[in-house]
Structures are given as structure tokens and as C-alpha cells.
Chain A
Amino acid sequence: MDASEILVTIGGLALVGAVLIFFFGPRRRRDRKRSI
């Protein structure tokens, strides 16, 4: 595994995490209040 592969792997996984948090992560307080 060269440096760029490690970078892409870590970056990709971080991006996946970011996508999941973006869509399903905790909401801002007033967002949550509304969704009741």
C-alpha cells in the first residue's frame, strides 16, 4: 500500500462517515423540536 492508497482509503472512509452524519446525524435543536 503506497501513501496515496492509504490517503484515499482514510479519506474515503471519512467521507462515508461524513455522508452518514450529514443525513442521519444529530440535528440542531430547533430541527428536532419540529420533527415531533
Chain B
Amino acid sequence: MTSTSPEDVGSGENAAPGSAPDTVMLPVTGMSCAACARTIEFTLKDVPGVRDASVNYATGRATVAFDPSVVTPPALVEAVRSVGYDVLSADSGPGGAEAGIDALPEELAIEDAERRAQEAEYRALRVKLAVAAGLSIPILVISMAHLSFPGVNWIQLGLAVPVVAFAGSRFYRGAWASLRHRNADMNTLIALGTGAAFTYSAAVTLAPSLVAHAGPIAAAAPHAPPAVYFEVAAAIITLVLLGRTLESRARGRSAEAIRRLIQLQPRTARVVRGGMEIDVPIARVVSGDVVIVRPGERIPVDGAVIDGVSVVDESMLTGESLPVDKEPGAPVFGGTINRTGSFSFSATRVGRDTVLYRIVRLVQQAQASRAPIARLADVISGYFTPAVIVAAILTFVVWYNLAPPDSRLTLALASFVAVMIIACPCAMGLATPTAILVATGRGAEKGILFRGGEVLERAGKVRTVVLDKTGTITTGRPEVTDVVPAAAFAPAGAESPGDALLRIAASAEQRSEHPLGEAIVRAASARGAALAPAAAFEALPGRGIAAEVDGQLALIGNARLMAERGVDVAPIAPEADRLSALARTVMFVAVGGAPGAAPPKAAGVIGLADTPRPEAAAAVRRLRGLGLDLVMITGDNRATADSIASLVAPHGEIGRVIAGVLPDRKAEEVRALQASGRVVAMVGDGINDAPALAQADVGLALGSGTDVAIEAADITLMRSDLDGVASAITLSQRTLVIIRQNLFWAFFYNTLGIPVAAGILYPWTGWLLNPMLAAAAMSFSSVSVLVNSLRLRRA
């Protein structure tokens, strides 16, 4: 993926902004539609030396593969700027890179710049909305109340000009961009409708004689000023801006996941240089450096242990809750936490080559590769707009042929404009945002946080749900599952051998901070055991513990500990083997003998395993009941995976179990499912799940999961309840239904108005475009949409 050598990174020099020399990711701004992405893509592909380019409209990222000997990143940036878009760079704003984080400064700075651009966009939208609303209200009052006084149209014109030219400018720019690519979207429809209404109204205000003599509308009331439709243009722009503002506020940020990942990396490392231990910035660590790590510290870069023994918490990378023993030769990874002992290791991968950085890249790539969803309103507009234009032209032709020769041009022109004006559904701008606003509010009440509205649209289309095992289906922490005393183990009192074994083990483990020890203490407390005080507690990294309980030595740990202390485990070996075969973690317990005297005797074994969440089985059933295909994915071996699957899905609810997946391959498995045409949701909790969460069409993170997973996901289940997955998908499906209904209502009344505007009723009523009709269509559709969206409050 990257051809930067460790030495390059170590020297602190970075070739291209944000990437290795042969691929660059450019954050592009100014794109207003998918067609813009296409333009930029073609422009980049035409640059000599560019091997491939893809531009993602949803994430605003251009990924370019190029030959560094032919073309440089600045030339690529120039190419993008040449077609009217801009590229954010690390220095395009104050407070760029965060001080001290040297390995990944460009990514952070770019994300920062993106966030600033997004916030600026939201602020700009708010200003435009305020202007549009403030000026539209008087226009609406004048038109709805049919106020008539000299100069009334001029006042409306004055109020409407800023609404159209300033507040509505983005719709005209967007429409122009779409037209250049021969597409029609929501912007085209809005530009057409408001443009027709405004131009017609402005024309009759400036030159009333145009319609005063022959115009059908003026004919009914010859002395009144000609009817104008400024309120149509103003209201449409205001309502659609309101929708856009609501959406902009809810839009998720992609940067936080990356930021949290980068924060996992320490800023300095303690390395041995010239026989001295010195702290150096992380960017100065080179491959081959000897790095010293003390207990409680984060490991700065990847390497292999040279000297010392310790236990390292790698859960942030692997999702595995059990700490990993480290001895000379064992690999260690940057970002993981050293728990117990000090050790030194030789740095093997630094900077962009570390596992942590690879995860950063995977998350970025997954975010960039995600296809933007086609918004329903845009899709409908794509057909509706050409249809309206065709209807307007045909209206013109028919009127020209049927009307009396002296007024046929005026009538044909007026009807042409009327069709354009009435067709533009102003509730269209509200159809999606209001539904999303109500649904996200309802979701929040249920502890389901949606990151933006697109997520709801996408989640409603999910067909396949991929569930991570460790920490998602299971609790992610070991629990005692089996307590098997040895046949020869006979406790003194009335206690059963099992209870006594657990009580002694728990008493000894009281001071242990190891998850396995904590699980034993929990299990004993749950059985109501009265723990005895333990003396001479000793944690033995990589082996277990030793302590004195009831005046006797107690050893609890793995087979190696038993062998080192001369404990004969033969009597309990069959039980230990049986538990191992069931994918349990086995702890031997040996008790007896005065400390220092003869070795203690094997007292039994305790089996521990990661157990399913209490609600997991019911949640899996409910998901299956929704007709979704379920897949379980895990890095564990097949036996462990199958045993958990059979516990939570006894009737085969989980259709497929993918076991033995390396942490960084989960995203690939998700991509493979997507390649077979499915809309995939991924549920996970660990940092190792983050790339898969970003890759999936919808990523769901449990609230108890790591911050990185939560930031990479689209939906957070605050209650860490697996049942929330089904609730989130159900709510999304309902929202999708409501959005479809809303769009129907938004277009319905306006579509009804088209034949009237075309003049069907003219022979009987003299109506061509009745202002009452335009206003009624506007309010009916808006109210229908709002009321319909509110139904989601009960979802």
C-alpha cells in the first residue's frame, strides 16, 4: 500500500500531502452534486502520469494513483482547481496540525480543514435561511391576504430579489452544474420553478402592459395590478433552504475516528541512543532503535521484544480482552498498553508502516470508497423535471393552435410559464429532512444515535447484518463457565469441593488486576462465597498468581506455572483437555503445603470463556424475524465461533459464520458481501472493527465500545444493547416509508395543478394559473409532509 521506507518517515520528511508517493488523497471542496465528482475525475485522469483517479462525492475525497516521476501532487491540485473546485490543504486555515503529533499531521490538518469548511457551510446556510425567511414572510402576507395598493408588486419585487439572487443562488449554480452533465436533480427543478415564477412576476411588474391588455389573468379584474407569483419563488427557496440547513446540522463528521486513532499513539518514545535513554518525538524513532517501555505506558511503535517480560493490553487493536504475555522475541504494536513489567524492544516498523497507521489508512479508504446514495428527491426530480419541461412545451403548442389568433401568443406563453411555476413542489425540500429530524429524535429517545440523515435512508435498505463476535454478541470479558475440583481435593468444612475450589481461587485472586482473576472473584461473589484474606500475593506475568490463603499456598495459573512449581497435574489433565476442546481458557488451581515446603497438590481446574450477552439470542431472533441475513465474523478459531453461534442462534438464525479473520481483513469480508450486491450493516465495538464499520453501508457501534469504533460508525447504540440493532433498522425502514410518502404528497398536489395551469379549465372558468391554486398546492403539500413526518414520533 505504501512505498515509503521506515527511514523516510523516521527522518521526519513527508513527500506528498496525506499519502505515500504513488497515491494521494485530495480533499476536494465545492462539489455540489455527483456530476461534479465525475468532472473532477475525468480532469484528473486526463493529467499525464495519472494512472487512476476516483472521486467520491459523499466524502469529498479524490484518490489519485500517479507516477511520481511524471507528475507531482501540486500539479494534481492545480488540475482540480482549473475546473473550478478547490483542494483543502494542511495550511489552508489557522491552527492546522496539532502540535506534538508528528506521524500523521497532514491527515489531522486536512480533517480539521474539512470540518471548518463544513461549519462555514452551515453558518452560511443559516444566514441565507434567515434572509430568505425574513423577506418571504412579508411577501406571503401580501399575497395570501390579497393586499392591493399602488406599487404592491414593486415592493414584492424588491423583497424577492435578495431571496432569489442571494439566498437561492446555490440552487441555480447547482442546476447549472447538473445541466452541464445532462442531469436533472432537485436543484434543476427548483431553479426552473422559482426561475419561471420570478421572471414572469418581475416581467409583469416592470412592464404590466405585457399582460394587462390580452392576458387572461388580468381579464377577470381589469383594474387590479397583474397577478404576480413572487411568493411561490420565495417560499420554495425558503423551505428548501430550511431543509438543507437541518441536514447540514445533522451531517456526520468522518474526522473523529481518525483523530481518536491518532491519539492512541504516544507523542514521544524513550529510546537508547549512545548508551543513554532519551525521550525523542515519535517521528524521530527509526527502525532498529531500542525502545524502553515502563508499566502503564503506551507502546510507541511496532517492534520485537529484546529484553524483559510483561503483559500487554492489545484489546484496542485486536478486540481481544485478555492481555497478551510478552517475552523476548514477541511482537509488540504501537498504541497498545504495557501493563505489568518493563521491557525493551527493537523498533521494526515506525511511522506509516505501523499496524496503527495501517488501521488509519483502512478507515480512510473505507470511508472514501463508500458509494454515495442516490437521494430519492434527486432521483424523482431527474424524471419529473424533463416531464414538466415537455408538458410546458406541449401546452404552448396546443394553446398556439387552439386559441384565437389575436391572443394565441400571449395565452400560449402564459400557460407555458404557468405549468413551470405550479410544477415546482416546495414541500420536496422538506420531505426528507423533516422525516429525518423526527426519526433521529425518536432514535435518541431509544438510545440510538444516527449520524446524519443519509444513514437513516441507507439503514432502511439493509439486507445483511454482520455481527462481530467478541464484545458484540458476547460481553467481551471472560466469565467462569466450569469449576471442576480434582477427585482427591477434599475441603475441610461442609463446603462442597466446587465451592471451596472457587472460594480459595477467588480469595487468592482478590488483588489481581487480570481479567481472568477478576472473573473468578466475580463468580465467587455471585455464589455468595465469603472470601478469606490473602497474604504474600504475587503476580507472575505470563503464568498466573501465587498467594497464601488460610495459611496454605495457592497457585492459580496456566500449565507452565504448574510445571515450574513441580505440581503434578496428571489427575486433572483429562478435565483440562476437555475444557480446552470446548474453547475455554483453562486455569489450574493447586493448593497445599506450607509455603516453601513440598509443592502444592492439584486441586482442580476452572474454565473461563467469553459468554454471549444476555439479550443476544433474543436480538438475533428479532433480526432474523425482520428477514435479514445474519453473518457472524470473528478472529477466533472455528470451534469457539461455532460454540457461540450455537448458543445465540440455536435454530440456525445466523446463516454464516466467518471465523479466523485477521483484524485488518474484516473490512475485506464486508466488501466481499457488498460486491455480491447486498446492502450490508456491520455491528462492532473494537478498534479492529473500525475499518469494517466504515466500509459497511451502515456501521453500528455499541456505546460501550471503543471511541474509535463509535466515531467510525454511523449509528451508536448508547445502551450497548444488541436489541438496538433491530430497533435502529426498523426505525430506518419506517423512515424510508415516510420519506417516500412525503415525496408523494410533495409532488401530488403540484402534479394535480399542472393540467389546470395548462388550461384545462380555461374554457369554463377562465383559470390559467390561479394564484389561489398555486398557494393552495404549496400549503397542502407542506402540511401533508409535516404531519406525515410527525407520525414517526410513535415509531
Contact between chains at B394 and A22 (CB < 8 Å): no
Interface of A is mostly: helix
A29 shortest CB reach to chain B, Å: 11
Contact between chains at B396 and A12 (CB < 8 Å): yes
Contact between chains at B401 and A23 (CB < 8 Å): no
Tell me whether A23 and B184 are in contact in the complex, defined as CB-CB below 8 angstroms, given that A5-B401, A9-B401, A34-B38 are known contacts: yes
**CB-CB < 8 A to B182: which residues of A?**
22-23, 25, 27
**CB-CB < 8 A to B369: which residues of A?**
none
Contact between chains at B393 and A16 (CB < 8 Å): yes
Contact between chains at B393 and A24 (CB < 8 Å): no
CB-CB contacts below 8 Å: A1-36 with B: 1-2, 4-5, 8-9, 12-13, 15-16, 19-20, 22-25, 27, 30-31, 34
Contact between chains at B184 and A9 (CB < 8 Å): no
Query: B741 on the interface (CB 8 Å rule)?
Result: no
Contact between chains at B393 and A34 (CB < 8 Å): no
B403 shortest CB reach to chain A, Å: 10
- Docked Cα-Cα span, A9 to B399, in Å, equals 10
**CB-CB < 8 A to A31: which residues of B?**
38, 181
Tell me whether A23 and B386 are in contact in the complex, defined as CB-CB below 8 angstroms, given that A34-B38, A34-B41 are known contacts: yes
Contact between chains at B390 and A16 (CB < 8 Å): yes
A35 shortest CB reach to chain B, Å: 9
Task: Please tell me which one of the listed residues A5, A23, A34 contacts residue B183 in the complex, with CB atoms under 8 A apart.
Answer: A23
User: Considering only CB atoms, which chain A residue lies closest to B385 in the complex?
Assistant: A23
**Number of interchain pairs (Cβ within 8 Å):** 46
**CB-CB < 8 A to B184: which residues of A?**
23
- Docked Cα-Cα span, A31 to B181, in Å, equals 9
- Docked Cα-Cα span, A30 to B38, in Å, equals 10
Task: Please tell me which one of the listed residues A9, A19, A30 contacts residue B390 in the complex, with CB atoms under 8 A apart.
Answer: A19
- Docked Cα-Cα span, A31 to B183, in Å, equals 12
Contact between chains at A8 and B386 (CB < 8 Å): no
- Docked Cα-Cα span, A27 to B183, in Å, equals 11
**CB-CB < 8 A to A20: which residues of B?**
386, 390
Query: B16 on the interface (CB 8 Å rule)?
Result: no
Query: B122 on the interface (CB 8 Å rule)?
Result: no
Contact between chains at A1 and B401 (CB < 8 Å): yes
**CB-CB < 8 A to B382: which residues of A?**
23
Query: B397 on the interface (CB 8 Å rule)?
Result: yes
- Docked Cα-Cα span, A10 to B496, in Å, equals 101
Q: Mark B402-427, 1 if CB is under 8 A from A, else 0.
A: 00010000001000000000000000
User: Considering only CB atoms, which chain B residue lies closest to A14 in the complex?
Assistant: B393
Task: Please tell me which one of the listed residues B181, B385, B397 contacts residue A9 in the complex, with CB atoms under 8 A apart.
Answer: B397
B543 shortest CB reach to chain A, Å: 58
B63 shortest CB reach to chain A, Å: 15
**CB-CB < 8 A to A4: which residues of B?**
400
Query: B389 on the interface (CB 8 Å rule)?
Result: yes
Identify 12 new A-B residue pairs, CB closer than 8 A, beyond the known A9-B401, A23-B183, A34-B42: A2-B405, A9-B397, A12-B397, A13-B397, A16-B393, A19-B386, A19-B390, A19-B393, A20-B390, A23-B386, A27-B182, A34-B38
Q: Could you pull out 29 A-B pairs where Cβ atoms are within 8 angstroms?
A: A1-B401, A4-B400, A5-B401, A8-B396, A8-B397, A8-B400, A8-B401, A8-B412, A9-B397, A9-B401, A12-B393, A12-B394, A12-B396, A12-B400, A16-B393, A19-B386, A19-B393, A20-B386, A20-B390, A22-B182, A22-B386, A23-B182, A23-B385, A27-B182, A30-B42, A31-B38, A34-B38, A34-B41, A34-B42
